[in-house]
Chain A
């Protein structure tokens, strides 16, 4: 059974870079059928797609975040990662990683999420 687990610091200072990793277990990140993505949810608010990556390294980003986001993949570790630079309090959220079906781009497996707070 495929599982995704987010990891990384729960507290980041303003203007610094948020870094998270998603570890995939029970399946290969190199499957040709899937993309892998990051989604976030500010406290009490809705879901926002951050970006997605294919095992080859091809990426798609939310235009509203594109200038600050980098998503990368490490197939040897079965992991993909998120970096969000120049964070502010508005980036405080629960961050989820998820698997996306490549053809239809819906998210069928989600991690449990990790809370990241931006504060000095």
Chain B
């Protein structure tokens, strides 16, 4: 089973700053099968990025995804107040099994 490790656990930033979130896989993951989600308190997760770098419908272009193999990154170019939330990466692998990373909380500094 592929394990996804997200870092940092918490990111303290101010509105307008750039956020860089990391997702590292224990084995190589096909870029096609790497997604990112945003979750706000009391809400269901929302799909942000699929296929490692494609934005989901309605997602602002300040969100971008990149990476390949075992290292993937979610970047928020300029944090808006509504972007403070928890972010999860997710992969689909053989077996087939889906796994999530442990999450990165982006909090207001």
- Which among A46, A49, A106 has the greatest number of chain B C-beta atoms within 10 A? A106
B56 in the interface (beta carbon within 8 A): yes
Cβ A46 vs Cβ B102 within 8 A: yes
B interface residues, tally (CB under 8 Å): 26
Q: Which residues of B have CB within 8 Å of A62?
A: 97-98
Q: Which residues of A have CB within 8 Å of B46?
A: 110
* Bound CA span A101–B32, Å: 12
Q: Per-residue 0/1 for B70-103: is the Cβ within 8 Å of any A Cβ (1 yes, 0 no)? A: 0000000000000000001010100111111111
Q: Which residues of A have CB within 8 Å of B95?
A: 60, 63
* Bound CA span A112–B43, Å: 7
9 contacts between A and B (CB under 8 A): A46-B88, A47-B37, A62-B97, A96-B44, A106-B35, A107-B37, A110-B45, A110-B46, A112-B43
Cβ A107 vs Cβ B100 within 8 A: no
A111 in the interface (beta carbon within 8 A): yes
Q: Which residues of B have CB within 8 Å of A47?
A: 37, 39, 45, 88, 90, 100, 103
A interface residues, tally (CB under 8 Å): 20
* Bound CA span A68–B11, Å: 37
* Bound CA span A111–B45, Å: 9
B17 in the interface (beta carbon within 8 A): no
* Bound CA span A63–B94, Å: 12
Q: Which residues of A have CB within 8 Å of B102?
A: 46
Q: Which residues of B have CB within 8 Å of A107?
A: 35, 37, 45, 47, 90
Nearest chain A residue, comparing its CB with the CB of B6: A46
Nearest chain B residue, comparing its CB with the CB of A62: B97
Cβ B47 vs Cβ A106 within 8 A: yes
From 87 to 120 in chain A, residues with beta carbon under 8 angstroms from any chain B beta carbon are 96, 101, 104-108, 110-113
Cβ A63 vs Cβ B47 within 8 A: no
Least Cβ distance of A70 to chain B in Å? 17
From 34 to 76 in chain B, residues with beta carbon under 8 angstroms from any chain A beta carbon are 35, 37, 39, 43-47, 50-51, 56
Q: Which residues of B have CB within 8 Å of A101?
A: 50
Least Cβ distance of A108 to chain B in Å? 5
